[in-house]
């Protein structure tokens, strides 16, 4: 991989490559920003740049021995640290092994680097074990922490890193990139592009992932089911059972998103997000009928469930949805 950062990341790239040339790189970075805007991708490009032994002014050559190892994902001086087995927690064993990795000398004579993603997945023991390494880094090492919600990190972790914020691209840039990303595939219509970006809080990579999952259709079907439920045309248990699948976390995130759209209309009268939105009629009805307090309380409840889900290894999906759907039904009383 050579330098192929996204167009909305050039400022961060210039900043860090300048530090490299000035020899002022920190030993730990914390990349923060919304999920789905390419922070991990950026970090991999940075690793390739730093390990390359024939780098041009601001990018890896893509051809030297180090680059070939990086591209083949077999570079012995790089390690990706992430939750094991598709879980959500990075445990202390992973950090111990990382500490060991840093204490061994570099196999290729350059820097030793790890990307740890996402940093909020560190459990307490793991975070404490990492603190020691952040305080006294071994040799020529670099730790790149990536966080989609940096507020959850221990302040002591944050304060030991140089924080680099990644903004969500402008709606125009996000749209341009998304539109151009369907190489050889069917490009979604303008309305679908709007809906995809809407659903993903304008995070282009997330929007792209949603497109590949056919998420729009699923989101729309969920809205139809919710509308039926609110009209008493079906049962909460039927709907919850159908939603009991791998899309669980997405479904919870979408429910939050719908509430945000309704709340925005209710509180500011802003029509931009609701116009043309699937389920527009139902959302407008709820914005009209419910008090801000009711909607905010449902929003908070949904957020709590979402967080519980993220922190649990085996959530009861059906019960969670049933519970939330009953809270939606309460809006109608």
157: nearest Cα among 90, 102, 220, 246: 90
For residues 45 and 320, which CB has a smaller minimum distance to Zn ion in the complex? 45
Task: Report if residue 310 touches Zn ion, rule: CB under 5 A.
Answer: no
Task: Report if residue 52 touches Zn ion, rule: CB under 5 A.
Answer: yes
Task: Report if residue 61 touches Zn ion, rule: CB under 5 A.
Answer: yes
Stretch that binds Zn ion, among 25-33, 56-64, 273-281, 284-292 (CB under 5 A): 56-64
- d(C-alpha 100, C-alpha 138), whole Å: 10
Computed from CA positions of residues 279, 302, 295, 170, in that sequence, does the dihedral angle turn out positive or negative?
negative
Stretch that binds Zn ion, among 49-57, 79-87, 199-207, 215-223 (CB under 5 A): 49-57
110: nearest Cα among 39, 28, 49: 49
State the minimum distance, in angstroms, from the CB of residue 59 to Zn ion: 9
Determine the size of the site formed for Zn ion (CB under 5 A).
6
| Paired residues of 142 in beta bridges | 113
For residues 34 and 64, which CB has a smaller minimum distance to Zn ion in the complex? 64
- d(C-alpha 93, C-alpha 113), whole Å: 18
Task: Report if residue 69 touches Zn ion, rule: CB under 5 A.
Answer: no
Stretch that binds Zn ion, among 44-52, 87-95, 147-155, 241-249 (CB under 5 A): 44-52
Task: Report if residue 64 touches Zn ion, rule: CB under 5 A.
Answer: yes
For residues 49 and 210, which CB has a smaller minimum distance to Zn ion in the complex? 49
Q: Among all chains, which residue has been given the structure tokens 């210039």?
A: 14
Stretch that binds Zn ion, among 18-26, 64-72, 190-198, 302-310 (CB under 5 A): 64-72
For residues 47 and 261, which CB has a smaller minimum distance to Zn ion in the complex? 47
For residues 56 and 330, which CB has a smaller minimum distance to Zn ion in the complex? 56
Binding positions for Zn ion, 261-280, rule CB under 5 A: none
For residues 67 and 211, which CB has a smaller minimum distance to Zn ion in the complex? 67
Task: Report if residue 67 touches Zn ion, rule: CB under 5 A.
Answer: yes
Q: How far is Cα of residue 19 from the mean position of the Cα atoms in its chain? A: 26
Computed from CA positions of residues 51, 56, 59, 65, in that sequence, does the dihedral angle turn out positive or negative?
negative
Residue 290: strand, helix, or coil:
coil
State the minimum distance, in angstroms, from the CB of residue 106 to Zn ion: 16
250: nearest Cα among 225, 279, 219, 273: 219
State the minimum distance, in angstroms, from the CB of residue 77 to Zn ion: 14
Contact residues for 202 (Cβ-Cβ < 8 A; gap 6+): 168, 169, 171, 174
Asked if 249 and 315 touch (Cβ cutoff 8 Å), the reply is no
State the minimum distance, in angstroms, from the CB of residue 31 to Zn ion: 22
DSSP strand pairing (78-81 vs 28-32): unpaired
State the minimum distance, in angstroms, from the CB of residue 67 to Zn ion: 3
Residue 112: strand, helix, or coil:
strand
In the complex, the residues that contact Zn ion under the rule CB under 5 A are 52, 54, 60-61, 64, 67
């Amino acid at each position: 991989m050579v330098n192929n950062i996204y167009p909305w990341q050039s400022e961060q790239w210039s900043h860090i490559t300048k530090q490299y040339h000035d020899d002022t790189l920190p030993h730990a970075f914390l990349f923060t920003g919304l999920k789905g805007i390419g922070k991990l991708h950026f970090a991999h490009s940075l690793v390739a740049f730093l390990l390359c032994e024939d780098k041009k002014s601001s990018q890896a050559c893509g051809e030297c021995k180090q680059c070939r190892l990086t591209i083949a994902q077999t570079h012995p001086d790089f390690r990706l640290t992430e939750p094991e087995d598709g879980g959500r927690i990075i445990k202390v064993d992973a950090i111990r092994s990382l500490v060991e990795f840093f204490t061994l000398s570099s196999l290729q004579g350059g820097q030793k680097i790890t990307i740890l993603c996402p940093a909020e997945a560190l459990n307490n023991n793991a975070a404490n074990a990492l603190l020691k390494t952040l305080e006294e880094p071994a040799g020529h090492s670099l730790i790149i922490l990536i966080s989609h919600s940096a507020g959850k990190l221990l302040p002591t972790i944050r304060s030991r890193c140089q924080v680099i914020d990644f903004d969500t691209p402008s709606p125009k840039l996000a749209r341009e990139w998304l539109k151009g990303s369907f190489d050889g595939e069917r490009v979604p219509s303008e309305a679908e592009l709007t809906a995809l970006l809407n659903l993903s809080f304008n995070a282009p990579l997330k929007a792209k992932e949603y497109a590949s999952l056919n998420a729009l259709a699923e989101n729309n079907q969920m809205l139809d089911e919710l509308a039926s439920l609110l009209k008493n045309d079906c049962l909460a248990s039927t709907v919850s059972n159908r939603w009991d699948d791998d899309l669980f976390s997405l479904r919870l995130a979408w429910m939050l998103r719908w509430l945000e759209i309704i709340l925005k209309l209710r509180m500011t009268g802003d029509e931009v997000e609701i116009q043309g939105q699937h389920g527009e009629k139902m959302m407008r009805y709820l914005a009209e009928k419910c008090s801000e307090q009711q909607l905010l309380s449902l929003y908070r409840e949904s957020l709590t469930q979402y967080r519980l889900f993220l922190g649990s290894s085996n959530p009861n999906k059906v019960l969670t949805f049933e519970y939330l759907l009953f809270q939606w039904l309460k809006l109608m009383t």
